[in-house]
Amino acid sequence: MQKIIRVTALLALLMSAANASAAGLIFGAKAGPMQIDVEGIDDPMNAGVSIGYEFGVVFGDLGFEGEFTTTVKEGEVGLQKFNIDTGGAYLTYRSPGFIYLKGRAGYIGWDADFNVDSGDDGTSASYGLGLGFNLKVFKLELEYTQIDDDIDFVSLGIQF
């Protein structure tokens, strides 16, 4: 019985060590539409950067990320133009494999500014789901993130 426990522990350690090679500092960039749930809006396009750390665990990669996005193409509502900046911190999980699933949950702050000296801002819990492709040198990710009840971000990103 002790031999089975030792072999199982050794296998778990080896699997975790093999996966730990993917652990470490990560950097990323992404872009996509910031989708506003208000009728008559032309959604802005945002681009962003992220930095984080992944811990290789037996069944995927667990980590944390900080992310900042800013508007690169203003949105429009009637004759007004507006932009949205976001900054968030997330706990992340990526499943193992060439094609993988990504989940994240955290806290985000956002600031929407209109060109007529008005705007809105807020902070809230945030979550995201994505599909990724591990191309060894980098990861390509398509992701949905809920920023606020009325604001969603759909992005295509690259992770190093």
What are the pLDDT digits (tens) for 107-122?
999 999 987 677 889 9
Spans of all domains in the chain: 2-159
Q: Is the dihedral of CA 8, 95, 105, 29 positive or negative?
A: positive
Contact (Cβ atoms closer than 8 angstroms) between residue 29 and residue 9: no
Burial of 144 (0-12, 13-18, 19+ CB in 10 A): middle
Contact (Cβ atoms closer than 8 angstroms) between residue 57 and residue 45: no
Kindly tell me if the per-residue pLDDT of 101 is higher than 50: yes
Contact (Cβ atoms closer than 8 angstroms) between residue 112 and residue 120: yes
Q: Is pLDDT larger for residue 33 or for residue 17?
A: 33
Kindly tell me if the per-residue pLDDT of 83 is higher than 50: yes
Task: Please tell me the pTM assigned to this model.
Answer: 0.82
pLDDT value for 12:
46
Q: How confident is the model at residue 15 (pLDDT cuts 50, 70, 90)?
A: very low
Q: Which amino acid is at 157?
A: G
Give the pair of three-digit tokens for residue 11: 């296998």
Element (H, E) at 2: helix 2-20
- Right CATH number for 2-159 from 3.40.50.10860, 2.40.160.20, 3.30.300.30, 2.40.50.420? 2.40.160.20
**Strand residue runs (E) in 5-150:** 24-36, 41-42, 45-57, 60-73, 75-77, 80-94, 99-114, 118-134, 139-148
3-state secondary structure of 137: coil
Q: How confident is the model at residue 140 (pLDDT cuts 50, 70, 90)?
A: very high
Residue with tokens 């040198």: 137
pLDDT value for 77:
87
